[in-house]
Amino acid sequence: MWDEHLADFRAHLALEKGLASNSLTAYIHDVELLRDFAIHTLAKRPEEINRNDIGTLLVHVGSIGQLGARSQSRLLSGLRAFFRYLTLEHRVPGDPTDAIPSPRMPKRLPEFLTLEEVNAMEACIDLSAPLGHRNLAIIETLYSCGLRVSELITLRLSHIYPDEEFIRVIGKGSKERLIPIGAKALRDIENYRAVRATGPIARGAEDYLFLNRRGKPMGRVMVFNIVKDLAERAGIPKTVSPHTLRHSFATALVLGGADLRLVQAMLGHESITTTEIYTHLSDADLHDSMMLHHPRSRGQ
């Protein structure tokens, strides 16, 4: 019964909700945690799960250190979606998550890099190496455009408009948006394209901008490793990921006075509340570390 409900929920998320692969995987993982707990610990079917069972699961995953507070909150969100689906399909008598309040989480300010730190990362790249220009273009595009890593690795050559200084991005839920791209990022991409044209290009990968050594589209893990390695080589004492560069993009704009709605549109946030976390970064000492609006827009 659990597996049948899980398969139908997966299809619902993919076909009706149009969730991206990563989001879909996260939701399914949440339900799998409950399924395993219900089968092996509670010996219960989906329709027998009640509010206390959900609470017991949250306490369990917290006590064994499996999930932190924020992850527990996200787990509850995933289980809410699952039981709301089952309730609408009349497969359970009621939603056991209905009466469970969402935990109030403290606002965590996103880690970001200064312009000097981004420059230090880029300075570590050996442009004489075969993939040097590619890696430089990756860092610069992440920083200048605020892309998610999934958006970066699916960026197409045909979606870059250098004359208009825009790129077209396919975001979450296959939603498209246009993002301005600065002069430096365009130069770095153009330099990489010249090198890219001399290497192997796999069938079906002709329109993908960023390719691996074999000429195939890059994967998420490869981009994470490139960013992490460059940050370590630059001596940056932070945990740096592609998302850190996305935060840096947004922080530079908000601290420079950019309209929050425009930042929301460029980041592809559905809700303005997601973007509002950057408004908590307006301390005077942070202003000194960032230039007016985004410095790359002026080719620096």
CATH, residue 193: 1.10.443.10
Residue 293's pLDDT band (boundaries 50, 70, 90)? very low
User: Which of these, 71, 42, 66, lies nearest to 54 by C-alpha position?
Assistant: 42
Considering the domain architecture, whether residues 161 and 271 belong to the same structural domain is answered as yes
Average pLDDT, integer, range 73-83? 92
Q: Specify which of 171-185, 213-227, 241-255 reaches the highest per-range mean pLDDT.
A: 213-227
pLDDT digits 0-9 by tens, 252-281: 888 778 888 888 888 988 888 878 777 665
Do 196 and 284 reside in the same domain of the chain?
yes
Residues 73 and 153 in one domain: no
Q: Across residues 227-254, what is the average pLDDT?
A: 94
Note whether residue 247 is domain-resident: yes
- Rounded distance between C-alpha atoms, residue 55 and residue 85, angstroms: 20
Q: Name the active-site residue from 35, 134, 196, 246.
A: 246
63 & 169 share domain: no
Query: What CATH number is given to the structural domain containing 12?
Result: 1.10.150.130
The whole domain housing 183 covers 115-298
pLDDT at position 300 is 59
Q: What's the whole-number mean pLDDT along residues 74-90?
A: 93
Catalytic residue flag (residue 278): yes
Q: Is 78 contained in some domain?
A: yes
Shared domain for 166 and 253, answered yes or no, is yes
Catalytically annotated residue among 172, 187, 220, 228:
172
Q: Please identify which of the residues 148, 184, 196, 294 carries the catalytic annotation.
A: 148
Reading the block at residue 297, the tokens are 């827009």
Same domain, 57 and 120: no
Last residue of a domain, one of 88, 106, 130: 88
- Check 10, 44, 269, 287 and give the catalytic one: 269
Distances in Å between the Cα of 122 and the Cα atoms of 80, 101, 138, 199, 277 are 43, 45, 10, 22, 27
Do 133 and 191 meet the contact criterion of CB atoms below 8 Å apart?
yes
Q: Is residue 108 part of a domain?
A: no
243 is an active site residue: yes
pLDDT at 289 over 60: no
Q: State the pLDDT at residue 35.
A: 96
Which residues on neighbouring strands pair with residue 169, listed in sequence order? 177
Mean local confidence (pLDDT), 280-285: 48
Phi/psi of residue 24, each to 5°? -60, -45
Q: What percent of the chain has pLDDT over 90?
A: 65
Task: Please tell me whether residues 268 and 148 are part of one structural domain.
Answer: yes
Integer angstrom CA distances of residue 22 from 14, 150, 267? 11, 9, 17
> Is residue 11 domain-resident?
yes
- State the average pLDDT over residues 46-69: 82
Q: Are residues 71 and 180 in the same domain?
A: no
Confidence of residue 291 (pLDDT cuts 50, 70, 90): very low
Asked if residue 284 has pLDDT above 60, the reply is: no
How many C-beta atoms lie closer than 10 Å to residue 1's C-beta?
A: 10
Q: What is the percent of the chain with per-residue pLDDT over 70, rounded to a whole number?
A: 88
Final residue in a domain of this structure, among 73, 88, 103: 88
For residues 60-80, average pLDDT: 77
Q: Does residue 148 carry a catalytic annotation?
A: yes
Specify the pLDDT at position 292: 41
Residue 140 has pLDDT above 80, yes or no: yes
**In the structure, what pLDDT confidence band is assigned to residue 135 with cuts at 50, 70 and 90?**
very high
pLDDT at position 91: 94
Highest mean pLDDT among 54-68, 225-239, 281-295: 225-239
CA–CA separation, 31 vs 81, rounded Å?
A: 9
Q: Is the pLDDT of residue 107 over 50?
A: yes
Q: What is the pLDDT of residue 1?
A: 85
273 within some domain: yes
Q: Are residues 147 and 237 in the same domain?
A: yes
- Name the least confident of 144-158, 212-226, 239-253, 275-289: 275-289
104 domain residue, yes or no: no
- DSSP states of 102-153 as a string? PP-PPP-PPP---HHHHHHHHHT--TTSTTHHHHHHHHHHHHHH---HHHHH
Is 122 inside a domain boundary?
yes
Instruction: Name the least confident of 108-112, 205-209, 212-216.
Output: 108-112
Both 130 and 75 in a single domain? no
Task: With respect to residue 102, please indicate whether it lies within any of the assigned structural domains.
Answer: no
Query: Is residue 288 predicted with pLDDT exceeding 60?
Result: no
Mean pLDDT of 237-248: 94
pLDDT in tens, 214-230: 999 999 999 999 999 99
Please give the torsion angle defined by the CA atoms of residues 26, 32, 38 and 41, in that order, rounded to the nearest 10 degrees: -100
Q: Are 135 and 219 in a shared domain?
A: yes
Same domain as 58, residue 198: no
Q: How many domains does the chain have?
A: 2
Q: What pLDDT was estimated at residue 257?
A: 81
pLDDT for the residue 290: 38
pTM of the shown model: 0.63
